Amino acid sequence: MSKYRIMLADDHVLMREGLKRLIQEDRSLKVMGQASDGVELLELLEESTPDMVILDISMPRLPGSEAIRLIKGLYPQVKVLVLTMHKSKEYLYRAMDNGADGYVVKEDAHDVLHAAIAAIRQGEKFISPLIFG
């Protein structure tokens, strides 16, 4: 069985590297690329299409919410999981309205991240339990 391919987009290198390690704890997952902003992410997507993109909402050059809309327009089969510091429902609703498949906050434990990936992979939506408390 081939690995589920994930691309990461966050403007902090340390965040991307830590996220990569957490994701690849699951041997069925593979991080296939990393971008520091939405523009770089779209360039990477032109070269290779993953199964899922995990991105931050707050990135330079192209905000995550706009990147979600563009990704879903160009690559509707690609799942999008938002990973952000924003717990505000306003950010959640904007991300979901733009086509996000899930929303996880950086305060969540790593098992929530894995649960979100698994749920989205199965065709479900996922929202962090911290949003609605």
Q: What is the pLDDT of residues 53-87, one digit of tens each?
A: 999 998 888 888 899 999 999 999 999 999 999 99
**C-alpha triplet 126, 104, 62: angle, nearest 5°:** 110
Residue 116: what pLDDT?
Answer: 97
C-beta separation of 36 from 11 below 8 A:
yes
Q: Identify whether the C-beta of residue 78 lies closer than 8 Å to the C-beta of residue 51.
A: yes
Query: What angle, rounded to 10 degrees, do the helices at 38-47 and 64-74 form?
Result: 20
CATH of the domain at 85: 3.40.50.2300
What's residue 24's pLDDT? Answer: 92
* pLDDT of amino acid 60: 84
The structural domain count of the chain equals 1
The domain of 91 spans 4-132
Q: Once rounded to an integer, what is the mean pLDDT over residues 84-95?
A: 94
CA 119 to CA 122: how far, in whole Å?
Answer: 5
Cα 38 from Cα 55, distance rounded (Å): 8
